[in-house]
Copies of this chain bind each other. A is one copy, B any other.
């Protein structure tokens, strides 16, 4: 190997050597299920009430945790839209198989200008928030190569990809991640129409659109909806639209009605053990360890809590 290998090649080699070192360690013996069972209360955190949107669809709860660190302006606008009632009465308008489930104001979709919901004090136009600086980001890093980016890991419970050479980090389009739909102009999203990934991670969308958070509960409600028969999975008739009957910020829901779930922290030894366990065959069924994982194959666990009021 000659000495003039480019910097990316050297970085990739270092990554590969790091992986070899990891593979030489003795394999873990505790399964992911047991690690969760054995976890301590400090391994978990509550949802942030000012950054959690609770929606009701088909009588079921769908909970979206926003990502203010990555998309502060979109998070603020979504918060305003939710508080001023924009999403209540909006609807699922598109379900494209192995791609996205999308919601919007039906009147906006039908181009019925006189019925379009007013934006209230929310902003009609926002800058694109495709990436943030990598430097200083509290990234719990994955040792396995990502393929789509030089570096990957988790921040604030969310899958993140990064390019340190360009000092850029961004949210990855994994299953359950939510983005802000836009038209051709990169800065044309404002949070009025959002989509959740319902299949194989379409990572080619990364850095092409603003990602605003993740569905932390109820993703199965969005993924099991009928696929739209129209182009790109759009519901071709208004009567197919599935209404969002209620949408509120968690902070605005009376304590007794608040969803009682907590989410695992990712700055802990438990999380790191969980990631390592996912690389190995543990428990008797599997005969072969993959010795690899990927940020999109590793969802941050949530679980019910005994009492939402306790803290």
Contact = CB atoms under 8 A, between A and B. Distances in A.
A224 to B, nearest CB: 6
Contact of A145 (B147, B202, B284, B287): B147
B12 A297 contact: no
Interface in A253-300: 278-279, 281, 284-288, 290, 292-294, 296-297, 299
B147 A294 contact: yes
Given A16-B9, A98-B219, A200 B203 contact: no
Contacts of A97: 219-220, 223-224
Given A97-B219, A219-B97, A174 B200 contact: yes
Interface residues of A, number: 58
A208 B288 contact: yes
Interface in A137-156: 144-148
A290 B9 contact: no
Given A12-B16, A199-B223, A278 B204 contact: yes
Contacts of A279: 204
A301 interface: no
A208 B288 CA distance: 6
24 contacts: A1-B1, A1-B10, A6-B20, A9-B13, A12-B16, A13-B13, A98-B223, A98-B299, A145-B145, A146-B147, A147-B147, A199-B199, A200-B200, A200-B296, A201-B297, A204-B279, A204-B290, A204-B292, A204-B293, A205-B286, A206-B290, A208-B281, A208-B287, A224-B227
Given A12-B16, A204-B279, 15 more contacts: A1-B10, A9-B17, A95-B224, A98-B220, A147-B292, A174-B200, A198-B199, A199-B199, A200-B297, A203-B290, A203-B294, A208-B285, A208-B286, A224-B226, A224-B227
